[in-house]
Amino acid sequence: MSQLTVQILSGMCCGFGNCAALCPQVFALDYDSNRTRIVPGAPLADYAAEIAQAASECPTQAIHVVAFEDQARASHG
């Protein structure tokens, strides 16, 4: 099973909220800072397709996604 790590490069986020509109379970727009953040505890793997779409459609490419295999699985080759 793969896992995801998602980062928002806040210095690049322009705060339009496309990602939050696309997948509010993962992305939340902070109206105070006008930046998007990751919802704490969001089940990233359940929304992998939406996250990938949000990353590809982000106008400033501020969303970085890294997928990696579980440690246990990786250690077996």
Which of 4, 6, 8, 51 touches ligand SF4 (CB under 6 A)?
Answer: 8
Query: Could you say whether residue 45 binds ligand SF4 (CB under 6 A)?
Result: no
Query: Could you say whether residue 26 binds ligand SF4 (CB under 6 A)?
Result: no
What are phi and psi for residue 20, nearest 5 degrees? -65, -35
Query: Could you say whether residue 4 binds ligand SF4 (CB under 6 A)?
Result: no
Pick the closest to residue 17 from 66, 54, 65, 52 (CA basis): 54
Which of 3, 33, 46, 59 touches ligand SF4 (CB under 6 A)?
Answer: 59
- Interface residue list for ligand SF4 (CB under 6 A): 8, 13-19, 36, 58-60, 62-63
